[in-house]
Amino acid sequence: GAGVSQSPSNKVTEKGKDVELRCDPISGHTALYWYRQRLGQGLEFLIYFQGNSAPDKSGLPSDRFSAERTGESVSTLTIQRTQQEDSAVYLCASSLRPSAGSYEQYFGPGTRLTVT
Amino acid sequence: LAKTTQPISMDSYEGQEVNITCSHNNIATNDYITWYQQFPSQGPRFIIQGYKTKVTNEVASLFIPADRKSSTLSLPRVSLSDTAVYYCLVGGLSSNTGKLIFGQGTTLQVKP
């Protein structure tokens, strides 16, 4: 079946512009996650959705970052007034509802964001 | 969530067995240990997960001692295509969200 898809695959934007990144999770996966990965670094958690609610927004770096999810499907991550430090690969993952012993998250290919 | 420590990099040759050890001294009772693999320009991919003793699947084995303060990922007979970054993570019900905390990972370079 289809995996997690993300669009666009690459995005180059000017500093100060807004960008919107999209994630389509695996059908039936109720949990959805956004991570950020800077060049040569590990993944940095941003936000988690269970259904369309976000019980954990602790990783959003600033109020310029927001995310929403429609039902148990597509999610969008919006970055307003982009800054150069926002340049990174933004990864989306989905999973079944987290439970004891089940942390198999399926990742998409990511969106590479470059802010010039 | 428990912090993990693993070597920054490792080198190996094709056909060898590779063991990557991860330390997690503050692991909680409910935490599971999970390993992910990441190739360049791709998202991480789940490899294996365990709670105690030994777990084996078609890709790897995971060894966890009785005190669970460390774990070892074992890759049998590696090939060039196993060159990747390997992440060790711990998490469980204590997090309530399934949020994964990724460290720097171990960059494995397999040479011919």
HEC profile of chain B = CCCCECCCEEEEECCCCEEEEEECCCCCCCEEEEEEEECCCCCCEEEEEECCEEEECCCCEEEECCCCCEEEEEECCCCHHHCEEEEEEEEEHHHCCCCCCCCCCEEEEEEC
CB contact under 8 A, A55 and B97: yes
Confidence at residue B94, expressed as pLDDT on a 0 to 100 scale = 43
Mean pLDDT, 10 residues at a time, over chain B (112 residues)?
86 97 88 91 91 93 96 96 94 57 88 96
Interface test with A, best of B8, B39, B90, B97 (most A CBs within 10 A): B97
Residues 16-35 of A with CB under 8 A from B: 31, 33, 35
Given a contact cutoff of 8 angstroms between Cβ atoms, the answer to whether A42 and B102 are in contact is yes
> Which of A91, A98, A106 faces B97 most closely, judged by CB atoms?
A98
Given a contact cutoff of 8 angstroms between Cβ atoms, the answer to whether A35 and A93 are in contact is yes
Residue A95 or residue B93, greater confidence: A95
Judged against a pLDDT cut of 60, whether residue A42 lies above it is answered with yes
Confidence at residue A92, expressed as pLDDT on a 0 to 100 scale = 96
- Mean pLDDT (chain A) is 90
Q: How far apart are CA A62 and CA A113, in angstroms?
A: 17
Residue range A67-78, pLDDT digits in tens: 999 888 999 999
Judged against a pLDDT cut of 70, whether residue A88 lies above it is answered with yes
The structure tokens listed for B93 are 């019900």
Judged against a pLDDT cut of 60, whether residue A110 lies above it is answered with yes
Share of chain A above pLDDT 70, in %: 94
Residue A104 or residue A103, greater confidence: A104
